[in-house]
Each structure stands twice: as C-alpha cells, then as structure tokens.
C-alpha cells in the first residue's frame, strides 16, 4: 500500500501515561507541547477532521452491514511494554540495577564502538533533588559526558537532560528546579507511549534474549530499541488533540470546546466496526478527552446493546427533550438514530522488569472502557455522525490514529535495520535436534499477486514420498512494496497455518523461513497449498519462490548457530565507482562454518547498479550482481553455502559497489548467521 500524499507524517510527541515534550508540530500532532488551534464549529455530523476516510481504508458505512459485526479483535496482538518515562531518562534508564547497562548503552556498546566505564553510574533525579534543585555530583557529570552516541542523544533529547543542564528550560525563571512531579518542566507522565503504540501494532514481539557482538539484549532491551525507532511514525489521524487543562461543558454536560469534542461518536463506531470487526486490525487511540495524552493500542470490542430509537428518544437521551434533532445538534442529514452501548478493550503498559514475551498472557494487560452513543443515519441508512451520551461525554477518546510505518524523528544513532535483526534473532526458534533425512520440494515461481483481491493466488505442489514429518520449514519469497498488505497461509488437508498476517507495514519484500509444528508426525505425502492474498489497494507484487523443507528420520545433535552484525553508522556508496565501499565484522569465535546466511540492508533507488560481495579468508562470493533493474532498495537474506568448511574466526567483509551513474545509496547495515561445528 504505497501511501498517498495526504499521509500525515507525524513526529509523535505524546504519551499514554507518558507524553513526550517534543516541540513544534501542528494541531493534528499526536502530542508535544499543547498549542492553540482554530475553532471549526464542530457538528455532530462529522467534519473533515473526524471523517473516517482520513484512515485511507476502504470502510463500509451501511449501518445494517456494520451492526452484524457485534464484536471484533485484532488478529495481530499488540505487545505490552514500559513507556520509558522521560524523567527516568527514557531508554537510557538502567531499569534492572546500576550494574546492568541501559538499552541505549547496550546498543552503543554493540554497534557504535562505545566502551562503558564501570566506575560511573547515572543519577537518580529524586535523590539528586536537594532544596528544590537538581544537584549532580562530579561522578554523575563524568557519566553523562562519557555516554555513547545513542545514549547521549536519548538523554539530551528524550530523557531528563533538561533537568540538569543549567538552563531554565520551561521559562519559569528557575533553573533545574525539581519536585515530586515535575523537573524543570518535565512532567512525570511524559514518555514514549506514542512510539510504543505503533511499534507494538506493526512489529512482532521479541521472544527471548539474544547475544550479538558480545552484548546480550534482553526482551525489554529489544522492545526499548524498537520503540526508539518509532519515535517518528507515519500515520493517519482522525480528530485533533485537546490542549485544554480545564474542560468546559454546557448545561447538558456536552463539551463546548470544539477541539475537545473529538472523536465524533459516529466516526468512532465506523472505525472500530470496520478495523476490528471486519478487518481484524488494531489501531491507536488517545483514550482521554483532556490535556494529557494517553495513547494505547485498541485490541477489540463487543456491542453490549443496540436498538433503534426515534428522534424524540434520541434528543431525550441527549438531555434536549422536545427539540428537533437536526437543528439542535447541527446534523442536517440525520433522519434515523441508533442507540449503541459497547465495551472496548485496549492494551496497557507493562514494567521493563517484566522482561519476557507478554502476548501469551495478554489478558493480564487488557483493560476495558465502556461507551454509550447515538449513531446518526442518513436517508440511505449510512452512518454520518453521532453523539456521546451519559458518562461517555467524559471518557470518550480524544483522537484515533492508524500507524503505517516507522518514520523520521527517532534516535539517529539507532538503526531500524539492526534492531529488526535483533527481533528476528529473538524470535528464531531453537532447534535442539536436526534430521538425518532432509528433503526440499517446490522452488522458483513468478506468479503475479492480484492487488486488493480477496481471492488472491493459490499454488499447489504434490509430495509423492510417504515421509513422516519430524521437522517442517516453509521458505517464502515475495516481491512486494508493502508487506503489511499481505496474508500468507499454508494448508494441507484440514490443517491450515497462517504464516504471515498483514504485519510489517511499509517494509519491502517478504523473504522468510517459517518453522511449522502443526504437522509434526503426519505424512508429507499429498497436496500442499500456499495461498497469498493482497488485502489493500495500490501496491502489487509477485510470489517468487516457495519451498517446503521436510525433515524425517532419527535426530542428531544440531550444530551451534552464531550471529554477528555490523557496527557504526550507515556508509555512503560512491556513485559509479567499482571499488565501492567495504564494511568489516571481526569475529574472534572459533569454529568451522557448516552453513551461512547473509542479510543486507541497502538503500538505493536502482539496485540494478549494485554488486554485493562477501569476503573472508581469501574467499569471495558475489551474492547480488546488478540484478533487479530500477527496483528500490536491497533488503534481503541470502543463503551462502560457498563458505562451508571455512574457519569462522577472522575478518568478514562486505563490499558494495555502484557500477553506473546518477543514482546514489547507502549501506545501512549487514549481518550474518553462521552454523558451526
């Protein structure tokens, strides 16, 4: 789904129980310091800021169709996380103990060439608050002076740097003042909730700790780094932020400040029944109508009660008995009304010390809001607006938003590509055994995937051998410019396994190997089908390869697998110079390579210009040789069997060269995973 120009690229600065202090933005900004907004005379029939079309999703508006969706739940469950409070120094907090590095420090150690000083520790703001002022000891000053690039940026821009920099940051005439709830303007509810919410919706949850370049990243560490790269998120927004600390109401209890009357109740009904009822897709909300911004992923809903009400009953419920609805509520197209009562489930934060995968116990982190509303219908029985009633006037969401991809505005010293590799390693299933007999079936395809077509494509292969399955992997390679549109399902007989379900947002291409256990012990003989559906308009793709890797026979022990990633910043690729640019990973571990996978992340507008070569111990292998024509970016994993039998220890080098003029690019990151004896 290539995004149209109406996409609101939001540098988010808000929070859930944590709103960041990002400056600037617009009245449609999802956070930041409150600012004035223009008055629009908001009607009960939604205006342009509340129009569900702002989500850029093909919504159904017919009420009789929507009311059939009496409940809904996201297929991809958003994961809980800490909100990484600003006053605790964001993701540079040592959340376990002073002896355990913060997520940002670990990243600097693994990828930015930073060496920690074990004698220096960060400050505790509460302990440093003396006589109403934050006072640092010399050792604390040395700690912050010696931070690595990522941790220093986080501390100064998203952490509690303002509370100790000797500057009057909030303009109140006091420098580095402190109290129990505010530190030189930093409020204790600020944090990274606005970044956690889209990351939790769009990215898979890390499952276990991983060690890369000698540094062990826990689940909470990886989540923190994922959140940091979603500090800037591209999203569609419905409604606007209420910046008023004191809400004002009329005699009937309805809010009188236009900006605080979002979200329109009818628009909310359309969004939630379509997104979660029809499409099973999570979205984000600011739960509260007031000044503080509480962002949460919306997980599901249930319609508790629904009934047709006459105009007289509708105005009575809105405490305006006897008055005409259309003129009283400025909704000229409303000719019919429905009363709806619903429960809405959202995901709450966790603590960083809950350092494990949390979606298996998601019910513990699920909270529920209760809403009552009047839904307005026009002459065609389509939803055109609505009103919150009773307690919902105080508790309705301020605005809704649909994140689509990580944008700009996050920590410039933390690479999305490197963090995603940590997630991939964290989710990789450990195999304690391997199989004596491994067979592959399938292979190359070149099948166009119809755009926005529920029928999609289905490719069937037949296995004639009667093998008892002891392990099963499915390799899938799909060219596509927005993998968040795709749903991929494997089936054999009555067994159906969803491999990929509309996750990954705007990432290009799906090149994955999935481990499947649902058919363990079954016979491999028979027909296998891979179905691929593109669920949204604009982007098109092809199924390039799908392969079954079936293991059978007595197991033996599995060799060790080690992972290594490049360090440092992205490298510019010189234009039209065959010498190119070279990045090195030095490996000190011993062992003999049995197999190797290479992953590259290269930004370039014409990958047909590129040669990519892996070198080690006098050997070299070209893995990409000016293929792909005018396609954008090379983000791919290659199987490289050529280094089997080589010693693991030593320097591994990746060379990327641009062999034609005009187009320029960068080597963002690369990594390799070696199975060794």
Give per-residue pLDDT as tens, 517-568.
888 889 999 999 999 999 888 888 999 999 999 988 755 545 678 889 998 8
158 and 116 part of one domain = yes
The CATH number of the domain holding residue 479 is 2.60.120.260
Distance from C-alpha of 281 to C-alpha of 662, rounded to nearest angstrom: 41
Q: Which residues, other chains included, contact 617 with Cβ-Cβ below 8 Å and sequence gap of 6+?
A: 646, 647, 650
Q: Total structural domains in the chain?
A: 4
pTM exceeds 0.75: no
Q: Residue 24 falls within a domain, yes or no? A: no
- Is 90 exceeded by the pLDDT of residue 372? yes
Which of 346, 345, 329, 341 lies closest to 390, judged by CA?
341
628 and 493 part of one domain = no
Measured CA to CA in angstroms, residue 307 lies from 37, 64, 101, 324, 336 at distances of 37, 12, 56, 20, 11
597 and 636 part of one domain = yes
Q: Are 546 and 444 in contact (CB under 8 A)?
A: no
Domain enclosing residue 595, as ranges: 561-676
The pair phi, psi for residue 549, each rounded to 5°, is -115, 105
- Is 60 exceeded by the pLDDT of residue 207? yes
Rg (CA), the chain: 27
Quick one: average pLDDT of 151-180? 91
User: Among 428, 443, 474, where does a domain finish?
Assistant: 428
533 and 440 part of one domain = yes
314 and 232 part of one domain = yes
223 and 179 part of one domain = no
150 and 206 part of one domain = no
Distance from C-alpha of 208 to C-alpha of 218, rounded to nearest angstrom: 7
Q: Residue 16 falls within a domain, yes or no? A: no
- pLDDT single digits (tens) 604-654: 999 989 999 999 998 989 999 888 888 889 988 898 988 988 999 999 999
Range picked from 153-162, 239-248, 475-484 for highest mean pLDDT? 153-162
pLDDT of residue 21: 35
pLDDT of residue 277: 95
382 and 273 part of one domain = yes
pLDDT of residue 270: 97
User: Among 134, 169, 187, where does a domain finish?
Assistant: 187
419 and 473 part of one domain = no
Distance from C-alpha of 360 to C-alpha of 155, rounded to nearest angstrom: 33
User: Among 159, 187, 215, where does a domain finish?
Assistant: 187
Q: Residue 592 falls within a domain, yes or no? A: yes
pLDDT of residue 2: 25
Q: Residue 36 falls within a domain, yes or no? A: no
Q: Residue 197 falls within a domain, yes or no? A: yes
Q: How confident is the model at residue 672 (pLDDT cuts 50, 70, 90)?
A: very high
Q: Residue 135 falls within a domain, yes or no? A: yes
Distance from C-alpha of 279 to C-alpha of 18, rounded to nearest angstrom: 29
Distance from C-alpha of 523 to C-alpha of 1, rounded to nearest angstrom: 39
389 and 477 part of one domain = no
Instruction: Using the CB atoms, write b or e for 369-396: b if 16+ within 10 Å.
Output: bebbbbbbbbeeebbbbbbbbbebbeeb
551 and 642 part of one domain = no
Tell me the CB-side half-sphere exposure of residue 476, using CA atoms within 13 A: 25
- Is 60 exceeded by the pLDDT of residue 345? yes
Quick one: average pLDDT of 66-92? 94
Distance from C-alpha of 478 to C-alpha of 507, rounded to nearest angstrom: 12
Which of 61, 30, 38, 37 lies closest to 236, judged by CA?
30
- Is 80 exceeded by the pLDDT of residue 14? no
304 and 413 part of one domain = yes
**Strand extents, DSSP E, 378-480:** 383-388, 399-406, 433-449, 457-463, 471-480
Q: How confident is the model at residue 471 (pLDDT cuts 50, 70, 90)?
A: confident
Q: Residue 619 falls within a domain, yes or no? A: yes
| First-residue to last-residue Cα distance in the chain | 43
Q: Residue 354 falls within a domain, yes or no? A: yes
pLDDT of residue 4: 30
Q: How confident is the model at residue 203 (pLDDT cuts 50, 70, 90)?
A: very high
Structure tokens at 333: 């197209």
């Amino acid at each position: 789904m290539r995004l149209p120009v109406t996409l609101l690229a939001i540098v988010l600065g808000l929070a859930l129980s944590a709103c960041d202090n990002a400056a600037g933005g617009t009245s449609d900004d999802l956070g930041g310091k409150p600012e004035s907004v223009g008055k629009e005379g908001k009607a009960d029939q939604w205006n342009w800021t509340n129009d569900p079309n702002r989500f850029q999703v093909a919504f159904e508006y017919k009420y009789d169709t929507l009311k059939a969706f009496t409940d809904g739940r996201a297929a991809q469950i958003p994961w809980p996380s800490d909100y990484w409070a600003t006053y605790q120094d964001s993701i540079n907090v040592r959340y376990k103990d002073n002896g355990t590095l913060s997520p940002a420090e670990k990243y600097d150690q693994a990828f930015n060439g930073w060496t920690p000083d074990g004698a220096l520790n960060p400050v505790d703001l509460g302990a440093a608050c003396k006589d109403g002022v934050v006072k640092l000891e010399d050792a604390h000053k040395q700690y912050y002076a010696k931070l690595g690039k990522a941790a220093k940026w986080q501390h100064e821009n998203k952490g509690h740097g303002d509370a100790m920099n000797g500057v009057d940051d909030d303009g109140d005439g006091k420098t580095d003042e402190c109290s129990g709830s505010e530190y030189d303007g930093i409020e204790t509810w600020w944090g990274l909730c606005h970044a956690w919410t889209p990351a939790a919706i769009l990215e898979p949850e890390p499952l276990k700790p991983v060690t890369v370049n000698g540094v062990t990243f826990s689940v909470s560490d990886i989540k923190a780094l994922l959140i940091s790269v979603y500090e800037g998120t591209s999203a569609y927004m419905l409604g606007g932020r209420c910046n008023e600390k004191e809400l004002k109401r009329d005699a009937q209890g309805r809010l009188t400040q236009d900006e605080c009357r979002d979200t329109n109740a009818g628009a909310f009904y359309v969004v939630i029944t379509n997104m979660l009822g029809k499409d099973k897709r999570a979205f984000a909300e600011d739960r509260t109508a007031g000044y503080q911004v509480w962002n949460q992923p919306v997980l599901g809903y249930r319609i508790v009660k629904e009934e047709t009400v006459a105009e007289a009953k509708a105005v009575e419920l809105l405490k305006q008995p006897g008055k005409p609805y259309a003129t009283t509520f400025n909704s000229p197209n409303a000719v019919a009304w429905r009363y709806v009562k619903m429960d809405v489930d959202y995901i709450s934060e966790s603590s960083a010390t809950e350092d494990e995968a949390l979606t298996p116990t998601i019910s513990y982190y699920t909270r529920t809001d209760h809403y009552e509303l009047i839904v307005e219908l026009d002459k065609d029985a389509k939803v055109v607006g609505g009103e919150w009633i009773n307690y919902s006037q105080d508790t309705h969401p301020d605005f809704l938003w649909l994140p689509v991809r990580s944008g700009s505005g996050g920590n410039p010293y933390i690479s999305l590509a490197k963090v995603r590799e940590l997630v991939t390693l964290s989710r990789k299933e450990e195999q304690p055994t391997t199989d004596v007999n491994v067979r592959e079936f399938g292979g190359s395809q070149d099948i166009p995937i119809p755009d926005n077509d529920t029928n999609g494509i289905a490719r069937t292969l037949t296995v004639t051998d009667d093998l008892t399955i002891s392990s099963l992997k499915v390799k899938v390679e799909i060219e596509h410019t927005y993998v968040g549109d795709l749903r991929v399902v494997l089936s054999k007989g009555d067994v159906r396994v969803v491999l990929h379900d509309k996750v990954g947002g705007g990432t290009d291409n799906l090149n994955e190997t999935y481990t499947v256990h649902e058919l363990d012990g079954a016979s491999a003989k028979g027909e296998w089908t891979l179905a691929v559906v593109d669920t949204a308009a604009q982007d098109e793709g092809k199924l390039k390869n799908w392969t079954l890797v079936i293991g059978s026979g007595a197991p033996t022990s599995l060799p060790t697998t080690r992972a290594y990633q490049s360090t440092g910043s992205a490298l510019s690729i010189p234009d039209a110079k065959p010498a190119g640019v070279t990045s090195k990973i030095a490996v000190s571990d011993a062992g003999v390579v049995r197999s190797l996978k290479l992953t590259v992340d290269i930004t370039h507008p014409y990958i047909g210009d590129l040669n990519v070569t892996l070198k080690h111990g006098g050997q070299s292998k070209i893995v990409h040789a000016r293929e792909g024509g005018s396609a954008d970016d090379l983000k791919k994993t290659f199987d490289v069997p050529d280094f089997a039998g080589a010693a693991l220890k030593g320097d591994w080098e990746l060379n990327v060269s641009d062999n034609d003029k005009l187009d320029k690019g960068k080597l963002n990151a690369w990594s390799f995973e070696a199975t060794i004896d």
